[in-house]
Amino acid sequence: MAVRTILHYPDKRLRVKAQPVAEVTDEIRKLVEDMAETMYAAPGVGLAAPQIGEAKRIFVIDIAPQDGPSDLRVFINPEIGTKTGTIAWEEGCLSFPGLHEEIVRAATVTVRAQGVDGQWFELTAEELLGVAIQHEYDHLDGLLMIDHVSLLKRRMMDREMRKRAAQDARV
């Protein structure tokens, strides 16, 4: 297992549409382990493969409290089915460190995906888990939280992240 580097906006790799996983192999299971370790080290509640430069349709989520047991969930080749209602949630993103914005998403979402065993499962989720699934799923299609805010907030977030990227490049 290894902690990978998380890409930060405006890295263009975050906009690449991820490709389906043809088969759940040992290499894919190793990637999932690296993703989980990276997410926990950050720390965060979710991480999509494109956020570490892997254009694969995989994300991991663990919404368990930090002092509680792990509840790692792995989604390979996820497909979002039904979405109902709306909920506003203050979201953060490991690719936008330190920034949080209220985003409106579906209140309840159903997802079908493969686990690390390659078996398909279906899950209906709401609250934080439902929001996290939608957030990470967006990453697989090259969509980011900045795409869900007003034009004014988008400009402010873009300016802040580009300023940070320029400072990081000088270091």
Q: How far is it, in rounded angstroms, from Cα 115 to Cα 109?
A: 18
Q: Is 101 helix (H, G, I), strand (E, B) or coil?
A: strand
Active site amino acids: 136
CA 27 to chain centre: 20
Q: Is 168 helix (H, G, I), strand (E, B) or coil?
A: helix
Amino acid present at 171? V
Supply φ then ψ for residue 51, to 5 degrees: -70, -15
My answer on whether omega of the bond before 50 falls inside 30° of 0, hence cis, is no
CB neighbours of 157 closer than 8 A, spacing ≥ 6? 9, 96, 99, 101, 146, 149
